[in-house]
Structure 1
Amino acid sequence: MNQMTDLSASTQMPLDPDACWDAFLRRDRALDGQFVGAVLTTGIYCKPSCAARHPRRENMIFLPDPEAARAAGFRACLRCRPDEVGRDRLAVEAAKLFIGGAETPPSLEEVAAHAGYAPHHFHRLFKRETGLTPAAYARSLRAERLKAALEEGGSVTSAIYEAGYNAPSRAYADAERHLGMTPSAWKDGGRGVTIRHVVVESSLGPVLVAATAKGLCRISFDENEADLRRRFPKADLMGGDAALEGLAAQVVRLIEEPGRPIDLPLDVCGTAFQQAVWEALRAIPPGETRSYGEIAAAIGKPGAVRAAGTACGDNGLAVLIPCHRVLRSDGSLGGYAYGLERKKALLEREGRG
């Protein structure tokens, strides 16, 4: 196997061996398809999530893809089947195009048949790659089209049908989920939406907590009613009530004790991509971090590292959607809307947990 070792050493790929090894130790499914690990003693190559027993570190090298591993003389693991990762991702991309091109949302059976998979298996595969089910992805696409049509002007009714809805009732239901308000309210800059707000103290400074009747729409440090009004210029802003005070108290507990499990109602708008990024952020356990590249890979968009970073910056629910758990690939803190000292403090608290 010395020939394999020599080939690996000459490969000009920007792989970080230590990061790759850590991914294998975590069995990190999010990085499947990004590289493979090849075992010098067995001649086998695997994907990071392979459930097989790990070899000794000195017996493993890392290559950018299965093609490079096969060219070096390795053969695919029969347990984790690393060659199928690329096929799965191509199938998901084809399914997304199929859903996006359909006049009405296709059924799971239709999507799976188009991709060439069994429905139940493809449902799991699609959600693993995108963070959404095929049905949720279709709803997100229609909501985005509705948003674009509303912003172009014209009547709400015409926008609803242009977006591909057969009935206004479904458009309003999707809009409440994805836009945070009804189509009419979105078109009119949030007019008619009531937002209650309160500023509470925490050990990291004052925190603005705001919510609609549906759930929390803004959590931020160092902001007040004036900042909230700039974000929602036509909404009806009101002071907090007992219900909001209770939500705010839970937000403060989350800041002070980040390891505590918490389930709070949300009302945030975002594209399908942003929602997938935010779901990936919420899946990071307290005390752990991810790189922007790992977040992009986790939602099935490994090339969208910069866009994933932008989606982190667009997060309107500080701490609850924990964008502070994302670091640069070199391990440095990177950016944070509320200051690096706060980001460092939050990570230190979670590390102590």
Structure 2
Amino acid sequence: MPVFCKAGCGNRALLKRPKTGDALCKECFFSAFETEIHHTITQCKLFKHGDKVAIAASGGKDSTVLAYVIKLLNEKYNYGIHLVLLSIDEGITGYRDDSLETVKKNGEDYKLQLKIMSYEELYGWSMDKIVAKIGRTNNCTFCGVFRRQALDRGAKLLKVDCIATGHNADDIAETVIMNILRGDTARLRRCTNIKTGESDEIIPRVKPLKYAYEKEIVMYAHFKKLIYFSTECTFSPNAYRGHARAFLKDLEKIRPTVIMDIIHSGEQLSFKDNIKKPVQGNCERCGFVSSQQPCKACLLLEGLNRGLPKLGIGKRSKGNKMILNQESVLSIKSKANLINSDF
């Protein structure tokens, strides 16, 4: 017996929404998905008329759907925003070089300006070089920290008013789980925020896909025949996030609403007033946003350039001890060289 679209359009249902369980036809699914994102944008006041918005584009399903839908909604509802694509080239052979071709194709198809910032250009290190130096442990830490700052650098260069990222509901639920397991109260305070970094000196970031399920993003991209890159990063199989993702998927089998439940729980979390809060400012070295001095990116970069790749990993006191030990060794070698030269 045929199942008809729950929206009452009279068409046969083609799919079942993972988020609501509703049986819908293609067109009604498109309408529901786009309307929910429009509602998120307007209710949370993510954009202002006249804003220049950089879409963080990786070529993956999330950023591709984000670019397509925001362009569509901007034209349909007259947001009055100017869109550009901002991509980060981490320098991962066989992964990022291929995905950037997808970004370039999307830029042409959607008629959007594209700016690419590379780790090599910004830091003098590509991820291929970093992994060759440090191995496959903690490489995602380097990549994540550098990527966040690279987006800030690109946004400043493009003179945009905000950065729109493709973080979806699954991503945010995973981040809540990760921060709880790490006891990271600082990040727990802001990981569910739909808009972060609002100040005169910081370019804010917004998450229009915050309440969109990953499965529905994939379905939307599939039925719309959008071009996106789906290969997993070659350096990410052992990433900590992967374990949180697997745990979340197991929970979802038992309780389908768990993704939204975790997000809403994260939104309601509060902390005692005596809990120390990190204060965001600007790094004294690079000038970009940071809650520590120097910022994590500068610390990791210093470690790479000093030949101490673990300098920015772990506690600051451990890093300071590594620097002192290195300087002590260099001092001893320098004195030895002076003595030998006298002879």
TM range (shorter): under 0.3
- TM-score, normalisation: structure 1: 0.25
Query: Larger relative CO (CA 8 A, sep 6+): 1 or 2?
Result: 2
- TM-score, normalisation: structure 2: 0.26
